[in-house]
Structure 1
Amino acid sequence: RGSAVERCLVGQSTALRRLRDDIASLSSAAADVLVLGETGAGKEQVARALHEGGARAAKPFVAINCGAIPESMFESEMFGHEAGAFTGAGKRRIGKVEHASGGTLFLDEVESMPLALQVKLLRVLQERRVERLGSNTSVPVDLRVVAATKEDLDALSEAGRFRRDLFFRLNVVTLTLPPLRERREDIPLLFERFLVQAAVKYQRPVIEVPPSLRRSLMLADWPGNVRELKNAAERYVLGFLSPDLAGSPGAAPSLDALLDRVERLVIEDALKASGQRIAEAARTLGLPRKTLSDRMRRLGLSAGD
């Protein structure tokens, strides 16, 4: 199961290792989970890691994007319907919730779920039963629900845009997936993996990544996170290298300057993960405390920056 989790969540950064440890600790639990993270950060991969690393791995993993379904179709898609429940409903339809029974139901962009239907999700979470549209009886379901959002559900619930009781029910166990810019040491490994996948997809050879591009990848901000990095790998395999990533040899900063920037980012990430505690950050980085302090002084860093 550990290898399954590592396949889903690629990287060796401190943040990702901690996330994998948290997932491992949840493997034997049936608790529902709320995953927080920016757009493109890989929240579905966290859900898949929870599924494949647990006892439900051989059962269905059903993903639904709550923001991609028209509101008029949402109830039928999610909860199913009986024949004759509405015009055009010629036969019974099993919804996503029932399809996921025995396994995991992943609700991406859960903040987009219509308010009127959030109460039905709440009932599923509380009672483990689902009622199809047009039915007077409910059907038992056995599943783990993993919901994901890029929004602050607490703030949305305060504003009346998300049910407060549903927020509290979802917010029992929370996992946070840091953005790619906060785990830059994972970028080369991820890019190499995406290169192989793209080469197979487009039947192209795997192209070696030159050091100049590797440095550019490490220093880019990646606002679209893992999804944007994957797109960049596909463009590279197809021969459409983005100019801002390819860079200009004449304008490139010195290797020492690049290394300083990368070192600064790695130390900043370690400090953030340790709550600005230098001793803990040093242990995470495998450095003596004095060595880390010396490097921080050289780079103009202090705990709390």
Structure 2
Amino acid sequence: MNIQGRVLLVDDEAMVREATGQWLELSGFNVDAFSSAESVLPHIDSQCDAVLLTDVRMPGMDGLALMQEALKRAPDLPVILLTAHGDVDMATEAMRGGAYDFIEKPYVPDRLVERVQRACEKRRLTLENLRLQQNLNTRSDIDARLIGISPAIQRLRGEILALAELDTNVIIYGETGTGKELVAQCLHEYSRRNKRHFVPINCGAIPENLIESELFGHEAGAFTHAAKRRIGKFEYASGGTLFLDEIESMPLNLQVKVLRALQEHQIERLGANAPIPVDLRVIAAAKVDLRDDPGFREDLFYRLSMSELHIPPLRERLEDVPLLFAHYVHRGALDHNREPRELSDHDIQALQAYAWPGNVRELKNIAIRYAIDSRISLVDLLSRQQPQMFKPVMNSTTLPLAVQVADYESRLIRDALERHKGNIKAVMEELDLPRRTLNQKMLRYGLNRGDFTDE
């Protein structure tokens, strides 16, 4: 039987409640029955995937008061009132106050089913529209955080949003400087765990004799200099996300303990005997494929690699380099009270001609240096950085068309924002762009209205 929807049924009369609930369940609905208004309220919020079917006359909080409180918590929640014959005028008035429908007792069962079915469909569509709007907002946000127009970065953004909805462990692969921690933060922030801690730890930056205490914590006196109890990263991240960067550097003996903690969902502090339950998602990051690493346990790899993400290096998405560089130049200029420097065609050619071995981290460093020192050219900066990685291209026609178009478009929007001091309406009129299209393009190119206002 197809489930037609979920119903929160409230009636203080046990026989009526049982009979109505059974009929609705036989008609394909999931029914949660309650004997009072007070008992159903904890089950109602803005995400409630049900309709409320309630008797009007009940001791304590009656059906009308319940409807008013339910609509405060979930303004779009369909509320159907069960009314006695003498309450019809009152129920009609209640519909003006937000009730979806009312049914007069004694009711015809088929009519009850029909009206509940319509209400469930309305609720389903409302929640679906809400979910779609949230997805659009999330996509706009992630476009601003992971800047780029290349197919590789677009694919990565989609993979992040898809994985964020799951609660599986993830391994992120990427070269140094590609932004593995930023990707891990996105996975956390767009997940159901985003209200709790995101806890990063670099396994390669902590001395081997301290990393166990960092991860699992310790009791006072557990070892020399352990003067007081310390909460470890596993325990602190419980309910949220633990990010293990450079996990290929984790000592073999510690890998065994991490595996056990993940399998049993509990840890023990050093010097303690009582286990502590933990509930967390683990995101690991590595520069090398852990399958090929003889120093990494196979069983821990399979525990972590429920899902994988691969971050492309900059040399594989060169069309994103001018956008990223312009973004960091603008931020660097603002942070250091400098006039933003515009990129010439020759500058863009230079950016495309550099191999970016340090990826986004290197690009950000060079962009800030370029922003704060107007005496030095971009070509000089890149040629001094790593000369063997720099092969200047002098013919602008060798640049990909997408790069040239994106650069021209971002300059037009930036110039309009500067002329109009961030006035979005004026920019829309000048460029003949709808608000939504302009917003999307500003996010794509890392342009923030606040950077152009006088406020």
TM-score (norm 1): 0.78
Distance 1:27 1:237, change over 3 A: same
Distance 1:92 1:167, change over 3 A: same
- 1:196 pairs with 327, 330, 353, which one? 330
Contact 2:173–2:180 at 8 Å: present in 1 too? yes
In structure 1, the residue matched to 2:396 is 255
In structure 1, the residue matched to 2:154 is 17
| Structure 2 Cα separation of the partners of residues 35 and 62 of structure 1 | 16
SS of residue paired to 2:164: coil
In structure 2, the residue matched to 1:94 is 231
- 2:350 pairs with 216, 240, 244, which one? 216
Contact 1:213–1:246 at 8 Å: present in 2 too? no
The structural deviation recorded for 1:5 is 2.6
**Correspondences of 1:37-56 after superposition (within 5 Å):** 37-56=174-193
1:178 and 2:315 matched: no
Paired AA for residue 395 in structure 2? S
**Correspondences of 1:1-305 after superposition (within 5 Å):** 1-156=138-293, 159=294, 161-239=295-373, 240-241=376-377, 243=380, 245=382, 253-256=394-397, 258-259=398-399, 262=400
Contact 2:319–2:403 at 8 Å: present in 1 too? no
| Structure 1 Cα separation of the partners of residues 337 and 209 of structure 2 | 41
The structural deviation recorded for 1:77 is 1.1
Q: Which shows bigger deviation, 233-242 or 80-89?
A: 233-242
Contact 1:5–1:52 at 8 Å: present in 2 too? no
Count of residues paired in the alignment: 257
TM-score (norm 2): 0.53
1:237-274 Cα distance to aligned partner (Å, 9 max, x none): 12155515379xxx862333x33xx46999xxxxxxxx
Contact 1:56–1:103 at 8 Å: present in 2 too? yes
SS of residue paired to 1:132: coil
Contact 2:366–2:381 at 8 Å: present in 1 too? no
1:43-63 Cα distance to aligned partner (Å, 9 max, x none): 111101111111122221111
Q: Which shows bigger deviation, 121-130 or 104-113?
A: 121-130
The structural deviation recorded for 1:37 is 0.7
SS of residue paired to 1:34: strand
Contact 2:176–2:358 at 8 Å: present in 1 too? yes
| Structure 2 Cα separation of the partners of residues 51 and 15 of structure 1 | 21
| Structure 1 Cα separation of the partners of residues 393 and 164 of structure 2 | 46
Give 1 or 2 for the bigger CA radius of gyration: 2
In structure 2, the residue matched to 1:290 is none
The structural deviation recorded for 1:219 is 2.5
SS of residue paired to 2:271: coil
Paired AA for residue 237 in structure 1? A
| Structure 2 Cα separation of the partners of residues 4 and 55 of structure 1 | 16
Which segments of structure 1 move beyond 4 Å, counting only runs of 4 or more?
263-266
| Structure 2 Cα separation of the partners of residues 8 and 132 of structure 1 | 37
Paired AA for residue 371 in structure 2? V
Paired AA for residue 336 in structure 2? Y
Distance 1:154 1:56, change over 3 A: same
Paired AA for residue 350 in structure 2? S
Contact 1:9–1:49 at 8 Å: present in 2 too? no
Contact 2:197–2:240 at 8 Å: present in 1 too? yes
Paired AA for residue 335 in structure 2? K
In structure 1, the residue matched to 2:109 is none
Contact 1:4–1:49 at 8 Å: present in 2 too? no
Distance 1:241 1:51, change over 3 A: farther
Fraction of identical pairs, as percent:
52
Distance 1:8 1:59, change over 3 A: farther
SS of residue paired to 1:136: coil
SS of residue paired to 1:175: strand
The structural deviation recorded for 1:230 is 0.5
1:190-209 Cα distance to aligned partner (Å, 9 max, x none): 11221233223333332222
Contact 2:198–2:241 at 8 Å: present in 1 too? yes
The structural deviation recorded for 1:92 is 0.5
Distance 1:170 1:16, change over 3 A: same
1:139-197 Cα distance to aligned partner (Å, 9 max, x none): 111211110000121111xx2x1111111211220110010111111112211221233
Distance 1:197 1:129, change over 3 A: farther
